[in-house]
Each structure stands twice: as C-alpha cells, then as structure tokens.
Amino acid sequence: MSIHPFLEWLEATPVGVMIKESAWGFPITVAVHIMGIMLSVGTLVWFDLRLLGVSMTGYRASLMYKRLAPWMVTGFAVMFVTGLMLVTAYATAAYSNLYFRIKVSAMVLAAINAFVYHRYTERRIALWDESAAPPKGARVAGLLSICVWATVIVAGRIMSYTMF
Amino acid sequence: MASFFAWLESTRVALAVRDTLLLNAGLSGVHLIGFALTTGGALVANLNLLGVLFPGRPPIEVTRPASRGIALGLLISGATGVFLFAPRATAASVNGIFQLKMALLVTAVLFHVFVHRRVARATRHVHLSGPSAVAWSQTTQRATAIVGLLLWTGLALSGCAFILLE
C-alpha cells in the first residue's frame, strides 16, 4: 500500500492549505519553529554541558534539570507542533527528502538517548549529583545529545534548501 | 563600500558558497547552531538575573559560564555568517532587516558585556549593604534581565525574518 494518498490528504487538510497558500502562514510558522529550536536546544545544551562536567559544575545536576526542564519542554512543544504543521503542508516533498529522513532519524535517536538517561543513568543520580565529573553514562548521554541535536539543526536547514 | 561588497561577491569563496547548494545550506545550519548556543546562553544568564532559575545564588556564577557560551556561539555564527554574507553582500547591506539584525547584535553584545555582567558582579556584594540596597539591586537586576531578554529575542526574530524574507 502506498503512503502517497495519505501524504496528499495531509497537504489538503486546512492546516496544510493555510500554510501553503496564505502569504504569512509559512514564514510565521517557520519563524516560530526556529524560535522553538533556540529555546529547547539553547537550554538543553546547558544541561548537557553539566552532564559532561564541562560547565556549571557548582550546581547539582538534578537542580539544573529541574530548573531548565520547563523551558526545554516548552521549546520542544513549540518546535514539534510547528514542525508537524510544516510537514503537513509539504508532506510529499518532505517524505522524499533525504535530509528530512536524517533529521527525523536524529530526533528518534535523541528520544532514545533521553529515555536511556532517565530510565537508567538518572536512577543513581544521588551518587553523582554534586560531582563535577559525572559517570561515563551521563557524559555519553550529554555528548550524544549535543551531537544529535546539532545534526537535527543542520539537516533541518539543508532540508529547507533542497526541498523547494 | 559598494565596490568592496562587489569585490567580496566576486571572491572565490563567495562564488563557491553561491554555487554550491550543500555548502550554503551546511553553513546556514552551523550558523544556526552557533546562534542557538548564543541565545541559549543569553536566556540562561538573563532568566537567572531575573531570579527565575537559581534564586539565592550570586548571579555571576551563572553569568560567567553563560558568557563563555555566548562568546563561543558568536564565534561560530560570526565565522559562518561572514561566508554566508559574502555572496549576497550588496543585497544584504541595503536590506533593512539585515541592518536591524546587525544593530541588535551589536547592542545586545555591548549590553551584555557592559551592563549585564557589571550588574551580575555587583549583586554579589550588595546584600551586605542593607535592605534598601538589596531592593535597589533587585529592581536593577530585573530591569537589566528584561532589557537583555528583549534584545536577544529581537535579534533571534530579526534573524528568522532575514532568512525567510530575503
């Protein structure tokens, strides 16, 4: 069964048509999408640097997460909602774009990395919460997060150059 | 200045960026990474000065590493920005949104270096000077943080507008 009828249906939804055909729908949605990336990745990187033991080592890792999480989550929510809206409008072109696939794969990897960190590494946070040099598992999670989100950003920009 | 921009556009680097889609797009992606690092650092520093992130701790403890993040981000976005500017120098230099972006960038950086850091540093000692000094200090801190947030948000928005409306 082909996925193309579904993609065409997505593009014909009111959201897809609004973004594609209104003068300001696309630029405003992309601008909000980029602002969401800056808010989410811009704050997440500070927690990642703490996990790496590179910055803010005088603060407990759990406190860093607690204080930054609302900003990260808000940014990710904005990024995902506007991202879905943009994909809805250009579903067919996005589906066949290599960089869109790289971006989505990197986001899945970021989700798996976050899951593994919260499920396993964070469980023993009491042992290293105040340590300036977190354990290997935490450092790997921080480094992987930075690399994966950098990939998301670069692939996203290349996608916008190659898709239209 | 126009002849300099015309020369810049004719350089081999500018032509390579203009004619190589992936190079142009990749540079734009790295530019955005630098920008995210900068705005993230600015956000953390200003939210902390506002008393939202780590109240009760000296603001300079966060401002200092955040400033390093802002500087690194600016280095990345500045280096890539030069390469992105080169092939479109003439058009960008007369573009109102680009001019606004550059003006906001300079203002935000100067404000961070000369006002934000000074206020964050001064707040470490003010608690020893009595309640009126603390109240004055909190008002100054909040005003500084709000101005900082507005400047960096304006810069991010003008950057988005330039990408989309160029």
Tell me: the pLDDT tens digits for B71-82? 999 999 999 999
* pLDDT of residue B130 exceeding 80: no
Contact between A153 and B36 using a beta-carbon 8 Å cutoff: yes
Distance from CA of B64 to the nearest CA of A (A): 9
Residue in B24, B39, B65 nearest the CB of A42: B39
Confidence at A164, pLDDT banded by 50, 70, 90: confident
**Enclosing H/E stretch for A110:** helix A98-119
Q: Which structural domain, as residue segments, surrounds residue A11?
A: 4-162
Average pLDDT, chain A: 96
* pLDDT of residue A106 exceeding 90: yes
* pLDDT of residue A50 exceeding 70: yes
Residue B122: per-residue pLDDT: 85
Higher pLDDT, B127 or B34: B34
pLDDT in tens, B15-24: 999 999 999 9
In this structure, what token pair is assigned to residue A45? 């990187």
Tell me what the mean pLDDT of segment B144-150 comes to. 98
Tell me what the mean pLDDT of segment B56-78 comes to. 95
Residue B1: per-residue pLDDT: 84
DSSP 3-state of B17: helix
Q: Is the dihedral of CA A88, A91, A97, A102 positive or negative?
A: positive
Residue in A27, A37, A63 nearest the CB of B36: A37
CA closest to A55 among chain B residues: B65
Confidence at A119, pLDDT banded by 50, 70, 90: very high
Global model pTM greater than 0.80: yes
A:B CB pairs within 8 Å: 92
Residue B124: per-residue pLDDT: 62
Residue in A31, A38, A67 nearest the CB of B53: A67
Structural domains of chain A, count:
1
Residue in A30, A38, A44 nearest the CB of B164: A30
B118: contact with A, CB 8 A cutoff: no
A70: contact with B, CB 8 A cutoff: no
In this structure, what token pair is assigned to residue A11? 């593009």
* Percentage, residues of chain B above pLDDT 70: 92
* pLDDT of residue B14 exceeding 90: yes
Tell me what the mean pLDDT of segment B119-138 comes to. 68
Q: How far apart are CA B39 and CA B157, in angstroms?
A: 11
Q: How far apart are CA B141 and CA B138, in angstroms?
A: 5
Most A CBs within 10 Å, among B24, B30, B33, to test the A interface: B33
pLDDT in tens, A18-42: 999 998 999 999 999 999 999 999 9
B19: contact with A, CB 8 A cutoff: no
* pLDDT of residue A108 exceeding 60: yes
Q: How far apart are CA A112 and CA A103, in angstroms?
A: 14
Residue A83: per-residue pLDDT: 97
Q: How far apart are CA A99 and CA B21, in angstroms?
A: 13
* pLDDT of residue B136 exceeding 70: no
